[in-house]
Chains A and B, each alone.
Chain A
Amino acid sequence: MNLVTVSGPPSSGKTSVILKTIDSLKKQGLKIAVAKFDCLYTDDDILYEKAGIPVKKGLSGALCPDHYFVSNVEEITNWALKNKFDILISESAGLCNRCSPYIKGIKAVCVIDNLSGINTPKKIGPMLKTADIVVITKGDIVSQAEREVFASRVNTVNPSAIIMHINGLTGQGSFELSTLLYDEALNIDSLKGMELRFPMPAALCSYCLGETRIGESYQMGNVRKMKVED
């Protein structure tokens, strides 16, 4: 089985891109399942179910969603292996632009959209910079010039990635993506011992543990102060 990790900022079009791409993958006779990770709320599992795609949903709630992802990806993978799927696609939103759920040896796709602003590629960390394929969406509503500038900015921060344009509404471009996802050479039978491409950021301070009061005397653990000059 192949695992494919898809990640991207909220509302960039991940679910639409995945749904359209699965349409094409199914036509190639592949059995697909999806694991949807989110933070507080998602309806996307219903969209997948409606499309007849087996889906598992995980809400991280009070936990950091990316940490939650890593803690659960092995179990989800085992579930997909047991059910003999050909591809398991994991979908997670990169909420702070700092984490990325990508794993060494596992195909990584980042979805970002043209509307997110020209400086966005600079602001996104490993989620964009270490992806194998970058999918750019919402190209149908911005000008050609903006599309070209945006794609060239993405290329500057991740020159080795394949950059694709997909229209999540019509599915244009999703067939093409589908041809790049499944690779027999990347089949796995377990995630045990595999490694993240990039470490998650450290964050363990009193606020992680439920502190609500403001003030220096309540701050413990990994706390850092801004330099505020006069």
Chain B
Amino acid sequence: MAAINNRKISDLIFEFPFLASFFSDNGLDITGKEELTLAEYFAGFDEDEIEDKAIDVDNLMFQIGEFIKQMIAFLGKEDDVVKTVTILPGHDKSGNPEKFDDLVIRQGEIICIVGPTGSGKSRLLGDIEWVAQGDTPTGRSVLVNDQVPDKKWRFSSADKLVAQLSQNMNFVMDLSVYDFVELHAESRMVQNREQVIKRIINKANSLAGEPFTPETPITSLSGGQSRALMIADTAILSKSPIILIDEIENAGIDRKRALGLLISEDKIVLMATHDPVLALMGDRRIVIKNGGIHKVIETTDEERKILSTLEDMDRIFLAYRTKLRQGDIITKIENTQ
């Protein structure tokens, strides 16, 4: 990479188109200077400019090289497919060993996490996110595809194992739905952007109770619509193989379909919830006590039957909600199942 400072900016941008965003995000105007070499370009700044713009030429040269290296690595490889994540037992807060053998979580699985507040749910997720190697307070280790994982899962900003969705999350940007998803797609450098954006908005609309248009400002979406867009966007655009969900509110969004979308995108879904309808949708659930994994329960057939009863109750409840919203008088709703 030593040679980049003697190459023309136009050639560099031709070869590494992503450098255009590096220049603009670093406040470096290159218009009209494309035919200069990088070294000439930086030499062209006078002392005032260097001081005003807080430019550190050596550091910038180094960072450009670093950026090119990262982007080549990022663009050159197929996305790593994470088929399994394995948690090896550690110990709880009192030092007692955890009572489970290797816990293997597979692509397309929904695992629920239950346990009182402060029991250690966040630490478990922390262990996964940091791909613990016996070096966290729980002593757990995490394997990816049965292997001791690559360090990049810890340190690379583009490769994060876990994406998160929680009830407390809001959109804060002042953008339309379309522009927002486009911005995300841009940062992920996806091909055929327009198609991907349309797909996300369609999916989100199929999850949301009430549809929204691509022109709707994201900050004026309802709770259910926001959650639907967050889920569709995360399912399709986030590179993280694991999605952590902290409850999904039971209004304005089809929760079963939302989980179905994540699974169909080959995500691993971890869900912290005490809502029985959600918890029983999982394949297994992890019970956390005193900082340790206390039990791993496979959802039983009886529980699945109970789930369908609970879902019926849920539907009735929602039907009353809809009636109220429409200004109807509440009368008995017959169970349509």
Residues of A close to B184: CB separation below 8 A: 145, 148-149
Once A130-B59, A142-B170, A149-B187 are accepted as A-B contacts, the answer to whether A156 and B25 lie under 8 Å apart by CB is yes
Once A140-B169, A175-B136 are accepted as A-B contacts, the answer to whether A155 and B63 lie under 8 Å apart by CB is no
Once A141-B170, A172-B126, A199-B51 are accepted as A-B contacts, the answer to whether A162 and B155 lie under 8 Å apart by CB is yes
Interface pair B188/A148, CB less than 8 Å apart: yes
CB under 8 Å from chain B, chain A span 107-130 = 114-115, 118, 121-122, 125-126, 129-130
* B70 at interface, CB cutoff 8 A: yes
* A158 at interface, CB cutoff 8 A: yes
Residues of B close to A122: CB separation below 8 A: 25-27
Residues of A close to B137: CB separation below 8 A: 24, 27, 175
Contact stretch, chosen from B87-95, B156-164, B209-217: B156-164
Q: Kindly name the residue among B122, B157, B170 whose own CB sees the greatest number of chain A CB atoms within 10 A.
A: B157
Interface pair A151/B157, CB less than 8 Å apart: yes
Give Cα A121 to B135, complex, Å.
Answer: 32
Give Cα A159 to B305, complex, Å.
Answer: 52
Chain A's nearest CB lies how many Å from the CB of B200?
10
CB under 8 Å from chain A, chain B span 149-188 = 154-155, 157-158, 163-166, 168-173, 180-181, 183-184, 187-188
* B314 at interface, CB cutoff 8 A: no
Residues of B close to A193: CB separation below 8 A: none
Chain B's nearest CB lies how many Å from the CB of A47?
21
Which of B26, B63, B158, B237 is within 8 Å of A145, CB to CB? Answer: B237
Give Cα A153 to B187, complex, Å.
Answer: 8
Interface string of B17-37 (1 = CB under 8 A from A): 000011001110000000000
Q: How large is the interface on A (under 10, 10 to 19, 20 to 34, 35 or more residues)?
A: 35 or more
CB under 8 Å from chain B, chain A span 169-204 = 170, 172-173, 175-176, 179, 197-199, 201-202
Interface pair A142/B21, CB less than 8 Å apart: no
Residues of B close to A163: CB separation below 8 A: 157
Give Cα A170 to B272, complex, Å.
Answer: 16
Residues of B close to A201: CB separation below 8 A: 51, 54
Closest to A130 in B: B59
Give Cα A144 to B239, complex, Å.
Answer: 11
Query: Beyond A145-B183, A172-B126: 11 further Cβ-contacts under 8 Å?
Result: A118-B173, A122-B27, A129-B26, A142-B170, A143-B230, A144-B230, A145-B230, A146-B172, A153-B187, A156-B22, A162-B155
A–B pairs, 22, beta carbons within 8 Å: A139-B164, A141-B170, A141-B172, A144-B165, A144-B238, A145-B230, A145-B233, A149-B184, A152-B157, A152-B188, A154-B157, A155-B70, A155-B157, A156-B22, A156-B67, A157-B26, A160-B63, A163-B157, A172-B125, A176-B126, A176-B154, A202-B51
